[in-house]
Structure 1
Amino acid sequence: MSDLQVDVETKKQKPKEVKAINAFVLLFGVIIIAAILTYIVPAGQYERVEVDGRSVIDPQSFQFIESNPVGFLEIFNSIHTGMSDASSIIFFVFIVGGAFGILQATGALDSFVVYLSTKLANREKIIIPVLMLFFAAGGSLMGMAEETLVYIGILVPLAIALKFDAIVGFAVVVLGASVGFTSAVMNPFTVGVAQGVAELPTFSGIGFRLVLLVVFYLAAVLYILHYVKKIKKDPSLGFYGKYEQGSQEGLLKSNSKLDTRHKWVLITFLLNFVVLVYGVIKFGWYITEIAGLFLLFGILIGIVGRLSASNIADSFIKGAGNLVGGALIIGVAQAILVIFNSGGLMDTILYYASSAIDNIPGAFTAVGMFILQLGLNFLVPSGSGQAALTMPIMAPLADLVGVTRQTAVLAYQLGDGLSNNIFPTVGFFMAGLALAGIPWTRWLKWVFPLFLIQIAISVIALVIAQLIQYGPF
């Protein structure tokens, strides 16, 4: 066989590499589409009124207003405005990334990965349901979302070390937090806000949401374990992101030990989380306070890890630098919302979507609300923002069409939560993908069957809620 024939055969046998869409290209394309829509869709406006210190919509006040199409230069201006609007989250990412950089510099994380991998060598699947339960509790009780970014950097290399892949490590964190955030047993940023707007007792109806948490959790765990079984049989089916397949073999075979210094570093890091939970629950901490806490404990971790002051600073800069791409994605995603608000389209879309619900059969009215909220999360990825925007309309609409307000809140939380690990406008989700080195298109292909399963669970739950007239208690 000639060299030419060998070359041709090699090319035939080599699988075709699918080039992933760059996240910034994808988001900029959405920005352009949003700008074009400002020339097509008529602008509208609801009046806002002050209720309990919050600005909410007067459902009867919608009117069309003069269109304000977004100009060519405004498309580019929106990115700067979006970054300004999302600056608190962007700097939160930098600070958490810097604290994580200090943790990495101590060497405690690598030693922990080796130690845990050795201990779980024959029982590695136990770590998946256990860690997912931890993240589900965080999402359900304290609205863990942006806070998951720091754990992605820990779990992805751990998954590689356990001979899973990057998707498993990312999924354990993101899907774990997502099932908790979606079921929202006591999530103050979604159910807490929505029930307040809907004039329901705070955290009422908790029993139904607990059942949902169990169902969502089991579905996600079984889905990941099924995937793990496949890649254990054939590792070539896995995706390893910025890691090479088997790149952690040296880590597993290294002589690193979890010495006393490393143990104290990890204990300090765990204490950080304990204080975080206490602060969120007791004092209502959010991004600013959590960022300050990570910075404080980052410095403490450096001191416990016996790093010099210069090493702590250098490690912080390096850790923050690793998240530049992810932090910028958050700002670019926010620019999409800037375009819609600037062009006056947000209220128009909300008006037409809400009007359409009136034509849905009674048993499926709540499902219609759910679909509407699911779509709106593309435009308003903030859970509390979406609650304040839509619940003033959904609550009275529920009264008119025979749906309980508690069911309307359920439709909102499900629609808001499920799409947080799908839509590219969700800044922290896209930042997490960048941190894990997973293209959005690759993740979407992997997670979409589970997303459909979760949609089916949500529809069934809403129909049941409608039939039992799910109420305040």
Structure 2
Amino acid sequence: MAQEKPMKKKSRVPHTYVVLFLVVIVVALASYIIPAGQYDRVKDEHTGRNVVDPQSFRQVDSNPTTFFRLFTSVPKGMKEAQAIIFFIFIVGGSFQIITATGAIDAGIGRIIKKIQGQEKIIIPVFLILFSLGGATFGMAEEAIVFVPIGIAFARALGFDAIVGMAMVTLGAACGFNAGVMNPFTVGVAQGIAELPLFSGIVFRIVLLIVVLVITSLFLLRYAHKVQQDPTKSLVYELELAEKDKALNLDHLPEFKIQHQLVLLTVVIGLIAIIIGVFKADWYITEIAATFLIMGIIGGFLGKFGPSKIAEKFVEGARAITFGALIVGIARTILVVMEDAFIIDSVIHGLAGMIQTLPGAISAVGMYVVQVVINFFVPSGSGQAAATMPIMAPLADVVGINRQVAVLAYQLGDGFTNSIIPTSGVLMASLSLANINYDKWTRFLWPLMAIWLGIGVIAMLIATMISYGPF
């Protein structure tokens, strides 16, 4: 470990809340420029979802954001994001109870001791493991609960919180982006486009391998740099503040029976979450409830009394208030656009631009349009419902396969979820990790540029090989 250096100068980047509110203001001003418009929504017979009627776009009465409504949009955003906000508080509080028992440190310490000399293998292992979740059942919100565990592993290995969070969230993102058998993105989009379910899977498997390899190399490079010189960490100040909580491998806590019982509770809880997501359509509410049960039972097994459990829960929830509220402020951006009726206008305008492009360029144009739309409609299935009824027939018009249009949606929806501030999953993960949004973007932008470039290449290849079946 390199000798500690003086703390870096304070960043001149505006506070995260300021950056997000500036985006809200820009969107509010845009409501005076972009004509209001709407599509009709109809029920799709193949998927059972409400989708747009591509022929129904019409302009409606303008409803620009007033000064006072700009500010009422903030509590409305908080209200609409309440499920994720309280999910963050409950998971953060419950995990603090479990952490306070010492079970996480004792368990991780034993694992790290066994792999000493091969520490970096943890990074690709985490990425591959979580990519399988993203590729098969669309793991996104479900990955949030694993962020603290990833960070604990990373810090024990001499890395930082960014590495810990990235091992989990970027792993899930790789699988989600490739969409090998993701029912919430590829499944929905192919249903709307009237393609056979999960057709074209070989192309997506190859894409997953490529994205995983590049992401692993990128993260390993950053992790090695931080391990060699901790001051190179983008969250060096955070690591200094958390230094006293870091696991000391030379003085590991005794792995007592109570620790084993706490970890067994966590494992059973995580298995229950996975089964619930697959078999019972569990979502945020059920996952949060399971984590709360894990925290309470784990606290009692760790020999905490009721008051101590409550105290640790509040301590954990308090520590992530900053990040939890960011989710609501980010949701405000969408609230302003929805109230001003300009989201559909943006989609309609961007789709119209594609019709003027030739051949393979049209496919790349579709991809770029989906990337832009993802900022405003970060829900995967929501974006499919809003755009695929337009993009599928548009693909027919410009002479490219509908499977290529689905690929454009899939990649456009997936890649930028890891960096856009309107992504509730990203903001929730950052809040649990206690990482500022600007630090995360500084870390991720080179990889994001590579990912987006891979998307362009994939679109060109898909067009050249007539990626289908049709």
User: TM-score with structure 1 length normalisation?
Assistant: 0.92
Which digits, 9 at most, give the CA deviation of each residue in 1:130-186, with x for residues without a partner?
111111112222222222222222222332221112221122122111111111122
In structure 2, distance between residues paired with 1:84 and 1:250: 38
Deviates more, 1:167-176 or 1:312-321: 312-321
Question: What SS does the aligned partner of 2:50 have?
Answer: strand
Counterpart of 1:6 in structure 2 is: none
Question: Structure 1 CA distance, aligned partners of 2:147 and 2:220?
Answer: 18
1:312 aligns with 2:309: yes
How far apart are residue 354 of structure 1 and its match? Answer: 0.2
Report the Cα offset of residue 105 of structure 1.
2.5
1:243 aligns with 239
Runs (4+) of structure 1 moved beyond 4 Å?
13-16, 245-250
Show the 5 A alignment for 1:319-358.
319-358=316-355
Task: Give the superposition deviation at 1:212.
Answer: 1.2
Residue in structure 1 matched with residue 229 of structure 2 by the alignment: 234
Which of 208, 221, 225 is the equivalent residue of 2:220?
225
Separation in structure 1 between the aligned mates of residue 251 and residue 435 of structure 2, nearest angstrom: 27
**Match of residue 258, structure 2, among 261, 284, 298:** 261
Change (3 A) 1:249 1:337: closer
1:251–1:21: structure 2 CA closer, same or farther, 3 Å change rule? farther
Give the residue type in structure 1 aligned to 2:187: G
Q: Which of 235-244 and 213-222 deviates more?
A: 235-244
Deviations 1:399-418 (A, max 9, x none): 21122222211111111111
Letter in 2 for 1:454: W
Other-structure match for 2:374: 377
1:452–1:110 Cα change, 3 Å: same
Residue in structure 2 matched with residue 26 of structure 1 by the alignment: 19
Contact 1:20 1:442 (8 Å CA) reproduced: no
- After TM superposition, the structure 1 stretch with the greater mean CA deviation from structure 2, 54-63 or 25-34, is 54-63
Q: Which of the residues 182, 190, 197 maps onto 2:185?
A: 190
Q: Do structure 1's residue 35 and structure 2's residue 31 form an aligned pair?
A: no
Return the match for 1:98 from 93, 96, 103.
93
Q: Deviations over 1:387-408 (max 9, x none)?
A: 1111111111112112222221
Change (3 A) 1:204 1:311: farther
The counterpart of 2:436, out of the listed 434, 439, 444, is 439
Determine the structure 1 residue equivalent to 2:411. 414
> SS of 1:59's equivalent?
coil
CA distance in 2, matches of 1:111, 1:331: 36
Choose 295-304 or 245-254, whichever is displaced more. 245-254
The gaps in structure 2 that reach 5 residues or longer are 1-5
Pick which of 207-216 and 426-435 moved more. Answer: 426-435
**Alpha-carbon contact 1:241-1:436 (below 8 Å) kept:** no
Shift of 1:33: 0.7
- Residue 79 of structure 1 deviates from its aligned partner by 1.0
TM superposition shift of 1:70: 0.7
SS in 2 for 1:97: helix
Q: Is the 8 A contact 1:84 1:331 kept in 2?
A: yes
Q: Do residues 64 (structure 1) and 74 (structure 2) align?
A: no
Q: Once the 2 structures are TM-superposed, how far is the Cα of residue 213 of structure 1 from its aligned partner?
A: 1.1
CA contact (8 A) 1:149 1:432 kept: yes
Using the TM superposition, name which of 450-459 and 95-104 deviates more.
95-104
**2:216, 2:112 → 1: CA distance?**
20
Secondary structure of the 2:42 match is strand
Q: Which amino acid aligns with 2:128?
A: L
Instruction: Give 1:241 shift.
Output: 4.9
Per-residue Cα deviation, 1:181-208 (whole angstroms, up to 9, x for no partner): 1111222222222222222233232222
1:127 is aligned, of 122, 141, 144, to 122
- Mapped contact 2:84–2:428 kept (Cα < 8 A): no
Shift of 1:289: 2.3
Corresponding residue of 2:3: none
Deviates more, 1:449-458 or 1:68-77: 449-458
- 1:351-370 map, 5 Å: 351-370=348-367
Q: Which range moved further: 319-328 or 236-245?
A: 236-245
Letter in 1 for 2:238: K
TM-score by length of 2: 0.92
Identity of aligned residues (%): 48
- Counterpart-to-counterpart distance in 2, 1:90 and 1:434: 10
Contact 2:147 2:164 in 1 (8 A): yes
Cα distance in 2 for residues equivalent to 1:227 and 1:350: 37
Which one-letter code corresponds to 2:35 in the other structure?
Answer: P
- The one-letter amino acid paired with 1:27 is L
**Cross-structure match for 2:389:** 392
Post-superposition offset of 1:283: 2.5
RMSD of aligned alpha carbons: 2.1
Give the match's secondary structure for 1:297: helix
Paired residue secondary structure (1:56): strand
Residue 3 (structure 1) aligns with: none
Separation in structure 2 between the aligned mates of residue 297 and residue 212 of structure 1, nearest angstrom: 37
CA shift, 1:97, in A, is 1.9
Structure 2 CA distance, aligned partners of 1:178 and 1:121? 28
Deviations 1:324-349 (A, max 9, x none): 22221111111110111111111111
Name which of structure 1's ranges 215-224 and 419-428 shifts more when overlaid on structure 2.
419-428
SS in 2 for 1:42: coil
